[in-house]
Chain A
C-alpha cells in the first residue's frame, strides 16, 4: 500500500494543495512552516493511502490548524469518549436549614407569647386599678 502526504494551505477562503511528500515528518514540518507565512491562514495534512491491488484510496486528515482558531493537536483522531452524565448538584444541607428554621420559630413563638402575656398582665392590672 502506497502512502503520500498532501499539505494544503488555506488562502483567501480556500484550501489549496501546496505540496506532496512521501514522509509524514516532512509533511508535518512543512505544514507548520506554512503557518508562519503571512499569506497563509491555515494548514492541513492529508494522509493518502493507495491500495495497489484494489485501486482504493483512503484519505485521513492528520493535522489541521487555522490561525486564530483553537489549536488542534497533530495526533490521530481519537474515538469520541462515551458521554458521561453530568454530576448532580450537591444536595443542600437540609439538616442545618431545618435547625435554623426550628430555632427561628421558637424565638418567634416566645417573642409573640411574651408580648401577649405582657399585654394580658397589663390589661388585668389596668382593670384591677380602675375597678
Chain B
C-alpha cells in the first residue's frame, strides 16, 4: 500500500477524484464522462461540476453544477459559457486554469485563496481533469473543488 494521502479534506477530495479518473482511464487512455460517472462516486458528486469543450465553442460551457456550489450560483448557468459565472465564487476560482488542462490533456490541481462576495477569505483546492469520448480529443472537463473559510489570525 502506498503512503497515506496528504492530510486535509481538500486534498483528500482531489486524490479521490483522481483515483476514480484513473480507474476509468486505465484501459483506454483519457476516460469518457460516461465511464467516470458510472463509478461509485459516493459523497463526491456534490463537489463536482462539468464543462463542455468543443471546437465550435469560443469558451467552455457549463454542463453540470454539483449541489455544493448552488449556494453561490444558480443552476441557470448550465448551458452558458464560463464567462457568465460570477466573480468571487468558488466555481469561478476552480475553473480558472481550465485552458492549461485542455492544452496539456492531463489533470491539474491548484489550491489558493480568494475573497468571496461576503468578504470572507476562502481557502480552496480544485482539480480539473480531461474527459474524452474517443480517448484523445477533449470533450468535457471534470472539475471538483472544496473550500473552507480561512480562520482569522489572532
Query: Are the C-beta atoms of B14 and A32 separated by less than 8 Å?
Result: no
Residue A22 is within 8 A (CB to CB) of chain B in the complex: yes
Contact with A along B14-50 (1 / 0, CB 8 A): 1100110010001000000000000000000000000
Contacts of B14 in A (CB 8 A): 26
A-B contacts counted at CB < 8 A amount to 46
Q: Name which of B102-110, B113-121, B132-140 contacts chain A.
A: B102-110
Of B3-11, B57-65, B80-88, B142-150, the one with at least 4 CB within 8 A of chain A: B3-11
A35 and B106 form a contact (CB under 8 A): no
Q: Tell me, in angstroms, the Cα distance from A17 to B108 when the chains sit together.
A: 11
Q: Write out the residue numbers on chain B whose beta carbons fall within 8 Å of the beta carbon of A29.
A: 2-3, 5-6, 15
In the bound complex, do residue B104 and residue A22 qualify as a contact, i.e. CB atoms below 8 Å apart?
A: no
Q: How large is the interface on A (under 10, 10 to 19, 20 to 34, 35 or more residues)?
A: 10 to 19
* Contact mask for chain A residues 1-45; partner B; CB cutoff 8 A; 1 contact, 0 none: 000000000000000011111110110011011011101000000
A37 touches B3 (CB 8 A): no
The 8 A-B pairs of least Cβ separation, nearest first, read A20-B108, A19-B107, A32-B2, A25-B6, A33-B2, A22-B110, A19-B106, A17-B106
Name 15 interchain pairs, CB-CB below 8 A, sorted by A.
A17-B104, A18-B107, A19-B18, A19-B106, A19-B107, A19-B109, A20-B100, A20-B108, A22-B109, A25-B6, A26-B6, A26-B11, A29-B6, A32-B3, A37-B26
List residues of chain A with CB under 8 Å of any chain B CB.
Answer: 17-23, 25-26, 29-30, 32-33, 35-37, 39
